[in-house]
Structure 1
Amino acid sequence: MTEQTKQAIEPGVKLWLSRGWQDFTRTWKISVMFSSIFLVISLLAYWQLLQLDLGLVLYPFIAGFMVVAPLLVTGFQRVGRMLHEGEQPGFMDLLKGVRETTPGIFFLTFVLCVCYLIWVTDAMVIYGMYFGVKAVPINAELLADPVLRESLFSYLMFTGLMGFVIAQMGFMVGAFSIPLIMHQKMTFVAAVFTSVATVWRHKLLMFRWALSLALLMLSTLMLALPLLVVVLPVTAYASYEAYVDLLQQEDSTDH
């Protein structure tokens, strides 16, 4: 890759999010309709856990969402490709994107789901260590009681550190694997190798990209859940733009 190309890629995070927003504005009706499915599922899960006074259990589930999030955006990947090709996608194209799953994507789904289950299971074990089997409602007493407060901070710290490691592994594997399998018809092994190699080659840029995605998604899931219908498609389209810049343009430059 030439120095000029590197300089064009380096400020990619803002550029990718800007392009992702532009793609969203061009398809906002179908994008909101599709992402509303995940919003309804999330609302039901939140409501059920809060009804059982298990609000703290939301934390590992929300954080672990970053591990499997790439699997939710296959439809947006298809629409992003269509926009680049000058086509006007419809709602059915989002559903067809989900149907474009191949054995490679199914196996990737299995790998990321195993990572997610490890993360959630270990988080539940840590929860049991600090709070036992009793439900701990989120209220003023949780912060007012010194013992509960110390347990809360320890629980958040240890599960956060563990989740960070697993999320990094999931990000390296899943960052570009799905678009490579979908758009370039790569095998699972080749796609994962290319994804990990690309993340490693652009370590600083990918760190900023992963951090940006995590902050956007976690703040949305924790503080402003209804905005998921906007944030999910924007970040999904931005991820496609990252794939185009780092892999499609890089390949054309090398050739």
Structure 2
Amino acid sequence: MDKPTPSIKKWLAFGWSSFMKTKTISIVFSSFFCIIAGLLYWLLLRIDADLVIFPFIAGFFIVAPILIIGFQQVASLLEKDKTPMFKDLIALNGQQNKGIWFLIFILSLCYFIWITDALVIYGLYFGIEPLPLDQAFITDPALRESLLWFLLYSGLIGWVTAVIGFLLGVFSIPLIIHQQLNFVDAVSISVKTVFKHKKLMFKWALTLVMITSLTLVIALPLLIIVFPVLGYASYAVYADLLINKDNSQR
């Protein structure tokens, strides 16, 4: 039997249909992160630390795999025609919780390193005083040049850190949750699968970055919808590239 062709559109469609089936618990869960992001934005803007918002937005992609654990569990229940509950979004199921917790530690450490480096680079170019993002960055050549270098260097560090997080978490989390693999085996398969489907996974990562970035920058309230949709879609990625592959070889 031919294996269905993996498709980003199909993954997103699965994410949307799963969200529609679980709107109440999904919105309640994602609202928590939306409120945290909103408070962070408000605090940084209040102290005129506009530029610091961008490192925190970039850091979201590092810890995002951690935040989809609950959506992975709910999506699996939906495929089994079971009715998920809110506790399924917040409780860790299975016997390999140590692997999940260790992965959470690794990704959190990557996030801490990224934020620390970004703030150090910010300090090198702008000092320790908060600096609002206003027209001075356009009219002042020195500020404009500093902004470009800050975005370049912090962007490179953020890109490397986010790639590491993506490689580690994109498949290892569902493998630990659904197949009860240990941390080492799950990460090994995750990295191998990403490199095996390099072009497709690059497109998927780019899709995640574009959708999430636009949401965080210009439409933060939509995070309560976008976050669950992408979280459920991540299960479809795992199912397409690992579960369906195994079934097609039987």
Q: Paired residue for 1:196, among 191, 197, 200?
A: 191
User: Could you list the runs of 5+ residues in structure 2 that have no partner in the other structure?
Assistant: none
Matched, 1:8 2:5: yes
Q: Paired residue for 1:35, among 1, 23, 30?
A: 30
* Residue 69 (structure 1) shift: 0.5
Q: Distance in 2 between matches of 1:135 and 1:93?
A: 41
Mapping for residues 80-159 of structure 1, pairs under 5 Å: 80-97=75-92, 102-159=97-154
After the TM superposition, list the runs of 4 or more consecutive aligned residues in structure 1 that deviate by more than 4 angstroms: 97-101
Per-residue deviation, residues 159-192 of structure 1 (Å, max 9, x unmatched): 1122111111110111011111011000000000
Equivalent residue number for residue 254 of structure 1 = 249
Q: Tell me whether 76-85 or 133-142 shows the greater mean CA deviation.
A: 133-142
Superposed CA RMSD in Å reads 1.6
1:229 alignment partner AA: I
TM-score by length of 1: 0.93
Q: Distance in 2 between matches of 1:186 and 1:199?
A: 17
Per-residue deviation, residues 209-245 of structure 1 (Å, max 9, x unmatched): 0000011111111111101000100000000010011
Q: Distance in 2 between matches of 1:186 and 1:108?
A: 13
User: Could you list the runs of 5+ residues in structure 1 that have no partner in the other structure?
Assistant: none
| Overall identity of the aligned pairs, in % | 49
Identify if the C-alpha distance between structure 1 residues 214 and 81 changes in structure 2 by more than 3 Å, giving closer, same or farther: same
Identify if the C-alpha distance between structure 1 residues 212 and 225 changes in structure 2 by more than 3 Å, giving closer, same or farther: same
Aligned positions, number: 250
Equivalent residue number for residue 173 of structure 1 = 168
Q: Tell me whether 101-110 or 175-184 shows the greater mean CA deviation.
A: 101-110
TM-score by length of 2: 0.95
Q: Tell me whether 82-91 or 206-215 shows the greater mean CA deviation.
A: 82-91
Q: Does the Cα contact within 8 Å between 1:24 and 1:237 map onto a contact in 2?
A: yes
* Residue 251 (structure 1) shift: 1.4
Q: Distance in 2 between matches of 1:45 and 1:98?
A: 31
Q: Distance in 2 between matches of 1:16 and 1:144?
A: 44
| Secondary structure at the counterpart of residue 64 of structure 1 | helix
1:115 alignment partner AA: C
| Secondary structure at the counterpart of residue 154 of structure 2 | helix
1:236 alignment partner AA: G
